[in-house]
Structure 1
């Protein structure tokens, strides 16, 4: 994709051609006759016809007024559409129902079309539709709806086929055709991943049908937010899906998890329990425990909780279980749970004067820098970036289902529970370099050779050469290894919640991290888990609580401690909201 749209008005067509070529080369054995014929016939069309089809495919909907398809590089849309009409990819006289007609015509045009019905100027378009609906339940072409109206409507006929091709290219159906255009603009640069038949996430024709079925179920879920009967039927459809493809099995698990969340909102406890029990998606087990508790099945909830405590899926689940356990104990009449001993981190109280356009983190950065040390506002960027530099080969390993096309900024399975397990040997090899000084050269080399390439971990805008060198000088390799290992336990949960600031003491080759909390702010769950982890491994970290100088009579600046071991506070597992 070498030509910029600034130079080539058909840039979108050039991209589409290359996508079809990629699909033909990579998935020829999975294509059916109709898809192969489409790819071959598309190449034979005149350029204006190709461009018009792509424009329609990339727009929303399936019905288009010819007068609205105005593109300078295409010219007359009616003329460009002739080859598309001849091959049946576009219908030039589609039968329209009243709803479709109203979607195409303006209010003034509808007034002329239905002038015998006494359309009032003040009557809203939606009200007119409802008034006319019982009188016009038939479907017919536009010229029969509106005689003498000089307009042509095109109906796109190949969208299901194009959706299947889009699925093969992106590996999903939530990304639109227009997204790959950004690569052509030169805005982003991507790692070159080695593709092979073995690295395909979709390896048989049946996988395409299953993926389309899953997508259809997800769309139906979005439309059935408060329909109990529809949710029951949808759950049955999802539970009936069977696949040996790990990539698709994870998608099925996520769909069941979301159906369970919706069942909870509607207080359909048996349905929620049924789908959660068959979902492998992270968090499904703790949701089952909460549903059992809310439906007063306390003994069953305690049994499942004890099973989860014996083998928790991640730190987040452990945190939820610690909060649920005391409630279940009380409800079962077992008495209070012996309180778990808590770890603490240092607390620093500081009062500062607010400044316009300065966040509280920036103010504390300036305040601490006055001590003569190097202080950086890094939040999640530094540890993630160092991990990304060291583990670059493992992150971009071409495993099945990880990469579908050349423009991935991250593996498709980045947040899957088995992301690490599938690459364990590769990641372990990378982390072993922290046992000697090899990691220093690896990180520096990756920084230079991969600079600017899209990565799910490396924050190029934050990780300056100076920050990189200070980090490599002051951060012990043992601490890096512990951070990276924890990150790999649960990428989705553990890549956030890290302290806001890092303070380097180059002469001592030491550091400390500072989590900043402004007036009224509180520690969040993922932050508590990170602080607890640092306290457990005796890593230098403090929580800085800030007050505005004019709000206190005595400026307080000193140390205390903050309990973090039990990650106290509200029970976030109460929420059945959508997972991120």
Structure 2
């Protein structure tokens, strides 16, 4: 139960809220079974409705009746009877040995083995008992109901037969399958807080029944591809699975054309199939996957596949076309590197102004052990006059998220359709910023005055803990936020925020690890930390180059530690002489 909850049926009330929401907004999407369920559920006895929701929120699909004891429900057998009569539960499901094993104790398994005359070691483990039962049968035993396995048992096993129907209802409500009904409970408990966004009765994830079916078909196709490539480790069988995936996607393509969101999911799966084909050593199959794919990375992967096919002139021409008109910074960076490689020279492959940022070294007295290298560097660099914080991708993103909160949570069509959204559903869409151009302009205009500081601090207090795609609340503190607002010039905030707005999702990562403040001088330095053998990633290079271009203080700190005796004194001196920003 929820703490101090006066209603023991709180979970039922939450589910009925969801049903009412769906009935008001999605009734035209229901099939006959869903429409019948929505109408019949309310007429069930309260205990039956409560048992249904309890089972829905537990891991199934099989349940032993004896383990469905809830004080507020009473007799589970009586509560289950109307659900069985409605066909929502099955009281005699056929169980194979794996399904049975998930329901019974080790003692029950050993009792079954004894009844079947299966010899066991005196201290046989649960796994050994299962192995012995498997070996007892020449082939897999025919599935049978509970009482065929345990004739003398007074218990009953129920199958939650409504799982597929409830999955579709959940998909209609959330617009995805990674959220579930526990969101209601977590929100009630205060574990998660969500921004309250107004939306009308037409706000919903799907507009047509066909979109729901297409989503589920894409989900099944993705699961099959992941299972096949995982089990076969990218051998010939994996290539067969990729080919089957592409055939399915070709058939699904017409069903996703009218829905940009579904089309993006389709392209993401097609791109994944292309990557799997490359790993399986099937460049022709990968070319087929990437050729008709709108995923932003597929354009560059075509270049790599052309190289694998030894079509170097075509690869160079495509790389040049990407370099001439890149869709984003990552494409430009990769295309330049590829052109350098194809020209057999490294000169053209440099994509960041590496000589432009300070490159410093810090030798620690010893390897950091359990500490992350970034934290070890932070401790070594920090002084009372110049505190250092490990922020990586959190601080600048949070400042952006707090200042631009009204734009990010603007109630635009297709952005919000249920109360449990961490952020707008169209965050990954190409027109995300364009649709909110005026809202973002209003937010950034505050940087021209001191209003931005008050807005950020006010929202930090008012929105604390509220889910946001840009604000990681545990990484923030009053001290860090005040230091940042004191030491970061408004002009630098604008530069960072403008780059985030170019590609809000891609540019959230790659920011430097540490920030060092000199509060009395109202200045700062960003520091990217690299341990021995660690190299800059491409997204980090892009952020570093951007900072250098705009004269933002940034450096790369190479951390080392002595491997030989006698270097401790030298290391101690190096740590004491922590580098300062120029």
For residue 427 of structure 1, what is the aligned residue in structure 2? 440
For residue 246 of structure 2, what is the aligned residue in structure 1? 235
- 1:438-477 pair list within 5 angstroms: 438-477=451-490
For residue 23 of structure 2, what is the aligned residue in structure 1? 24
How far is the alpha carbon of 1:386 from its aligned partner?
Answer: 1.0
Structure 1 spans left out of the alignment, 5+ residues: 562-580
How far is the alpha carbon of 1:270 from its aligned partner?
Answer: 2.1
- 1:84-103 pair list within 5 angstroms: 84-97=83-96, 100-101=99-100, 103=102
Q: Which has the higher contact order (CA 8 A, sep 6+)?
A: 1
Across the aligned residues of Structure 1 and Structure 2, the Cα RMSD in angstroms comes to 3.2
In the alignment, structure 1 residue 503 sits paired with structure 2 residue 507: no
In the alignment, structure 1 residue 296 sits paired with structure 2 residue 310: yes
- Give, in whole Å, the separation in 1 of the partners of 2:387 and 2:543: 22
How far is the alpha carbon of 1:444 from its aligned partner?
Answer: 3.2
Contact 1:199 1:398 in 2 (8 A): no
Q: 2:178 aligns with which of 174, 179, 191?
A: 174
Greater Cα shift, 11-20 or 78-87:
11-20
How far is the alpha carbon of 1:547 from its aligned partner?
Answer: 3.6
Q: 1:369 to 1:230 in 2, by over 3 A?
A: closer
For residue 572 of structure 1, what is the aligned residue in structure 2? none
Give a deviation string over 1:525-574, Cα, whole Å, max 9, x none: 3222211111111111122233447746644458799xxxxxxxxxxxxx
How far is the alpha carbon of 1:215 from its aligned partner?
Answer: 1.3
Q: 1:44 to 1:215 in 2, by over 3 A?
A: same
Greater Cα shift, 260-269 or 383-392:
260-269
For residue 125 of structure 2, what is the aligned residue in structure 1? none
Contact 1:4 1:184 in 2 (8 A): no
How far is the alpha carbon of 1:161 from its aligned partner?
Answer: 1.0
For residue 312 of structure 1, what is the aligned residue in structure 2? 326
For residue 124 of structure 2, what is the aligned residue in structure 1? none
Alignment partner of 1:240: what SS? helix
For residue 79 of structure 1, what is the aligned residue in structure 2? 78
Q: 1:531 to 1:41 in 2, by over 3 A?
A: same
Contact 1:389 1:447 in 2 (8 A): yes
- Give, in whole Å, the separation in 1 of the partners of 2:117 and 2:318: 66
In the alignment, structure 1 residue 386 sits paired with structure 2 residue 399: yes
Give a deviation string over 1:313-355, Cα, whole Å, max 9, x none: 322233322332233234xxxx776465844211233344468
- Give, in whole Å, the separation in 1 of the partners of 2:532 and 2:144: 65
For residue 14 of structure 2, what is the aligned residue in structure 1? 15
Give a deviation string over 1:348-371, Cα, whole Å, max 9, x none: 333444688765544544554437
- 1:428-577 pair list within 5 angstroms: 428-548=441-561, 551=567, 554=570, 555-556=573-574, 557=577
Contact 2:338 2:349 in 1 (8 A): no
How far is the alpha carbon of 1:374 from its aligned partner?
Answer: 4.4
Q: How high is the TM-score relative to the length of structure 1? A: 0.86
Contact 1:350 1:545 in 2 (8 A): yes
For residue 345 of structure 1, what is the aligned residue in structure 2? 357
- Give, in whole Å, the separation in 1 of the partners of 2:78 and 2:28: 36
How far is the alpha carbon of 1:36 from its aligned partner?
Answer: 2.8
How far is the alpha carbon of 1:448 from its aligned partner?
Answer: 3.4
Give a deviation string over 1:361-393, Cα, whole Å, max 9, x none: 445445544372344332222211110111101
Greater Cα shift, 284-293 or 335-344:
335-344
- Give, in whole Å, the separation in 2 of the partners of 1:84 and 1:144: 23
For residue 571 of structure 1, what is the aligned residue in structure 2? none
- Give, in whole Å, the separation in 2 of the partners of 1:252 and 1:90: 34
Alignment partner of 1:522: what SS? coil
For residue 61 of structure 1, what is the aligned residue in structure 2? 60
Contact 2:306 2:314 in 1 (8 A): yes
Give a deviation string over 1:170-201, Cα, whole Å, max 9, x none: 21123333344211111222210112245433
Q: How high is the TM-score relative to the length of structure 2? A: 0.85
Aligned length: 555
Q: 2:137 aligns with which of 126, 132, 155?
A: 132
Alignment partner of 1:73: what SS? coil
Q: 1:215 to 1:115 in 2, by over 3 A?
A: same
Q: 1:111 to 1:553 in 2, by over 3 A?
A: closer
- Give, in whole Å, the separation in 1 of the partners of 2:317 and 2:95: 58
Alignment partner of 1:491: what SS? coil
Q: 1:280 to 1:45 in 2, by over 3 A?
A: same
Q: 1:84 to 1:282 in 2, by over 3 A?
A: same
Contact 1:173 1:215 in 2 (8 A): no
Greater Cα shift, 140-149 or 30-39:
140-149
